[in-house]
Amino acid sequence: MEDSKGSDYVEKFYLDCGFATRALHAGEHVGQPSTRSHSNAIYQTSTFVLQSAEEGAALFAGEVPGYLYTRLGNPTVKVLEGKINALEGGTLKLKKPELRISTLAFSSGMAAISSALMSCCSAGDTVIIGDCVYGATEHFCSNILAKYGVRTVEVNVADLRAVEAAIQANPKARCILFESPMNPTLLLADISAIVKIVKAVNPDIKVIVDNTFATPYLQRPLELGADLVCHSTTKYICGHGTVVGGLVTTIHDSVRDELYKIIKDVGSSPSPFDAWLVNMGLKTLPVRMQKHCSNAMQIAKFLSTHKQIASVAYPGLESHPQHELARRQMKDFGGMLSFELVGGVEAGRKLMNSIKLFTLAVSLGCVDSLIEHPASMTHACVPRDKRLKGGITDGLVRVSVGIEDPEDLIGALDKALAAL
């Protein structure tokens, strides 16, 4: 239970419970002493006391479980990792008890994404990524991995024929990474179909899904055949805009071991306090996501009929080109949407500078509503030709819908749009 290589523990009792029950109870007090505290402790310490020189030697040799140094493992972080095991992989574990689900926590979403990629490839290999991903993900692949001899190929993962062609054309591919829903276009990737295509060509290629927009409440990629799932806990999983963090969950021991080596040697482990904050946020994830989804649907419907709006991207709308896929693959349609104004980029800037209630800020998944301009903010590091190819136009506005009263949010949008 105190194995510092990430938490591969899923409490059997909670496997038979629903998602909200798991979010509240799974992983609690794992690896922590019984102090009768109702809330989990924050082990805000850099190092741990050894009972003897012999114990220290045994711990460093990996012969006994325990904690040595927070960069190598921490009880508070262990609680978070155990809870995510139950949420991302619990249902899969019920179906396949032989699987070992492992989650490792990181100091940021990009630490998680970059570590997931590095765990799968070496110099001379190829990674395939979706052509619409978070800007820093694209930048890491194009600028950092490239420096170390790893080639990156981009593909439209919404086009299954293009995915198959990319896999067949790149025999040195070691993994494919994509988002669903995608940031910020809200297009989807058919996860199970992509897994089937990839594994038919080369079973050793790892399928990595960035599940940040959906969260395990709405979508669980491991159940759809993915090998690794990544999250930025900065977003919905924490939910309150107080933490920067990340997670990777996998069903492969070899990948888990590689991820742990990266955490250990690069130093990308989260602080215990951040892990504690994320765990507290997770307890309300189900109720928050229900409200995010409900509000987003109402706002998407309002925007779709407004004369100042040229187009709206939201999977819950029947007009969305992948609405049926969203219905099949997700529990609900999420709290993110994007839209284009009739007046283009200038109208978008005017709207963002004048609107009330919606905070002009990057990031997403907070309890309050956020609005931003991807082309000049979250995706500014992506070359314009790549942005446009991925559907990220100059006039696109992205909204992270919060849990405010929907009437107030729609009223604020209506007033701001009327002033254009």
Residues with Cβ within 8 Å of 262's Cβ and at least 6 positions away in sequence, in order, are 115, 118, 119, 268
Beta bridge partners of 206: 175
CA distances from 248 to 8, 123, 228, 387 (A): 12, 22, 7, 26
Give the β-pairing of 396-400 and 370-372. antiparallel
Kindly name the residue from 235, 256, 387, 398 that is annotated as catalytic.
Answer: 235
Contact criterion met (CB below 8 Å) for 152 and 131: no
Sign of CA dihedral 121, 124, 125, 128: positive
Contact criterion met (CB below 8 Å) for 329 and 219: yes
Helix or strand or coil: residue 219? coil
Residues with Cβ within 8 Å of 243's Cβ and at least 6 positions away in sequence, in order, are 233, 234, 274, 277, 278, 281
Kindly name the residue from 43, 134, 217, 236 that is annotated as catalytic.
Answer: 134
Q: Can the peptide bond before residue 270 be classed as cis, meaning omega within 30 degrees of 0?
A: no
Q: Indicate the angle between helix axes 253-266 and 109-118, nearest 10 degrees.
A: 120
151 is catalytic: no
CA distance 82 to 106: 14
Contact criterion met (CB below 8 Å) for 75 and 41: yes
CA distances from 411 to 307, 335, 356, 407 (A): 15, 18, 9, 6
CA distances from 230 to 12, 46, 115 (A): 24, 26, 10
96 is catalytic: no
Q: Indicate the angle between helix axes 406-418 and 344-354, nearest 10 degrees.
A: 130
Give the β-pairing of 151-155 and 102-106. unpaired
CA distances from 218 to 7, 106, 179, 288 (A): 22, 22, 14, 12
Kindly name the residue from 8, 131, 190, 210 that is annotated as catalytic.
Answer: 210
134 is catalytic: yes
Which amino acid, residue 417? L
69 is catalytic: no
CA distance 128 to 162: 12
CA distance 162 to 171: 15
Instruction: Give catalytic residue positions.
Output: 71, 134, 210, 235
